[in-house]
């Protein structure tokens, strides 16, 4: 039986990563309609409440491990939950509201560039010369992807079609990329499944504080008139966001990540973009111009090459907590 394990790890581990990532990619289907009913911060708050309820049995079963967690690991976890689970997700929700959802989902693929740089500064990881080449290509491709009329960039960003949604998406990519680095630090001192559930707890605490600061921790804000008028739509969309695009892919993804090399998982994670584009373009008709399609392909290819180049020099470390949870 032991001789068969490596083959089994190779066979279905990456596909579980791909399935989990693809399910994450469906979140635009629920988040876009919810943007019409709730403020972005409120959507993310309810999302965390429901996901935590789903993961509560997992969290309770791992509480015995809390005593072994050191302060450094807690620091990484808190930053990961704040930047990735809470703030980053708020900016993603805002990006979908104010930008082209297809552009938003594709441009988020720049996260590995950010997380690679973050790992260089925080953990001292080596950067290959090819990293700078591929990262530059990815950034240039991201610029062309972000604008509808690249020939007008010289006149003004507004005429070129650069909108607020793209700005929110780039801020989201920054937070999610840095969160991935912090997640890696968390993995070095905490069991993976405990980290996943605690990250949701930290995210919920952060979202509660954010709502409190902005004066939205009240019934009128948490369940506004628009949501009351479309009660069924609101409840169903929130449940689907928290389950199909939240808790379920989280468990599938981490099981696949346990059975997959991190460098291999990076390629299968791109299933998230494929699923998201199918939804935003196919169902919400968020189309792209021909130059944006080409730029998107170049961006994803360049990021894939970044991951491939870095995999050759990076030490065998625990995989990141996640890139976009």
Residue 86 structural domain: 6-311
| Structural domain contains residue 1 | no
Q: For the purposes of burial, counting CB atoms within 10 Å of the CB of 294, is it exposed (0-12), middle (13-18) or buried (19 or more)? A: middle
**Residue 228 pLDDT > 50:** yes
| Structural domain contains residue 324 | no
The pLDDT value given to residue 150: 72
Quickly state the pLDDT bin for 209 (edges 50, 70, 90): very high
Among the listed ranges 86-100, 152-166, 231-245, 301-315, which one has the minimum average pLDDT value? Answer: 152-166
Average pLDDT over residues 6-24: 78
Chain segment 278-298, per-residue pLDDT in tens: 999 999 999 999 999 999 999
Please list, in sequence order, all residues whose beta carbon lies within 8 angstroms of the beta carbon of residue 212, skipping any fewer than 6 positions away.
none
Domain count, the chain: 1
| Structural domain contains residue 319 | no
| Structural domain contains residue 316 | no
Buried b / exposed e over 189-212, threshold 16 CB at 10 Å, is bbebbbbbbbbbbbbbebbeebbe
**Residue 173 pLDDT > 70:** yes
Enter the pTM of the model: 0.89
| Structural domain contains residue 126 | yes
Chain segment 104-122, per-residue pLDDT in tens: 999 999 998 999 899 898 8
Average pLDDT over residues 167-184: 92
The pLDDT value given to residue 279: 96
**Residue 262 pLDDT > 90:** no
The pLDDT value given to residue 1: 39
Per DSSP, the three-state class of 91 is: helix
| Structural domain contains residue 317 | no
Q: What is the mean pLDDT of the chain?
A: 88
**Residue 321 pLDDT > 70:** no
Chain segment 26-79, per-residue pLDDT in tens: 999 999 999 999 999 999 999 999 999 999 998 999 888 898 999 999 999 999
**Residue 204 pLDDT > 80:** yes
Chain segment 64-82, per-residue pLDDT in tens: 889 899 999 999 999 999 9
Record the tokens describing residue 69, joined without a space. Answer: 């967690």
Per DSSP, the three-state class of 285 is: coil
Quickly state the pLDDT bin for 260 (edges 50, 70, 90): confident
| Structural domain contains residue 318 | no
Radius of gyration of the chain (CA): 19
The pLDDT value given to residue 184: 82
Buried b / exposed e over 32-51, threshold 16 CB at 10 Å, is bbbbebbbbbbbbbbbbebb
């Amino acid at each position: 039986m032991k001789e068969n394990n490596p083959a089994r790890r190779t066979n279905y581990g990456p596909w579980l990563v791909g399935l989990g990532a693809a399910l994450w990619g469906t979140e635009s289907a629920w988040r876009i309609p919810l943007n019409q009913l709730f403020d972005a911060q409120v959507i993310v708050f309810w999302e965390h409440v429901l996901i935590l309820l789903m993961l509560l049995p997992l969290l309770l079963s791992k509480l015995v491990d809390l005593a072994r967690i050191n302060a450094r690991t807690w620091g990484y976890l808190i930053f990961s939950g704040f930047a990735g689970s809470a703030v980053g997700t708020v900016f993603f929700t805002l990006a979908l509201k104010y930008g082209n959802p297809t552009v938003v989902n594709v441009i988020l693929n720049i996260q590995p560039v950010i997380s690679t740089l973050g790992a260089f500064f925080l953990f001292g990881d080596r950067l290959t010369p090819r990293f700078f080449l591929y990262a530059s290509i990815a950034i240039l491709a991201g610029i062309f992807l972000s604008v509808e009329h690249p020939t007008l960039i010289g006149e003004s960003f507004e005429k070129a079609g650069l909108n607020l949604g793209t700005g929110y998406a780039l801020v989201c990519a920054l937070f999610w990329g840095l969160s991935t680095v912090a997640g890696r630090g968390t993995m070095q001192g905490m069991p993976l499944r405990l980290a996943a559930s605690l990250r949701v707890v930290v995210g919920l605490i952060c979202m509660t504080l954010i709502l409190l600061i902005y004066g939205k921790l009240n019934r009128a804000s948490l369940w506004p008139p628009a949501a009351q008028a479309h009660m069924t739509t609101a409840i169903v969309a929130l449940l689907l966001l928290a389950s199909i695009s939240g808790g379920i892919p989280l468990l599938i993804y981490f099981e696949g990540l346990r059975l997959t090399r991190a460098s291999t998982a990076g390629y299968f994670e791109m299933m998230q973009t494929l699923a998201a584009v199918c939804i935003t373009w196919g169902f919400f008709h968020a189309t792209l111009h021909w130059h944006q399609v080409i730029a998107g392909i170049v961006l994803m290819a360049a990021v894939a090459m970044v991951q491939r180049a870095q995999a050759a020099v990076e030490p065998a470390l625990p995989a990141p907590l996640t890139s976009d949870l």
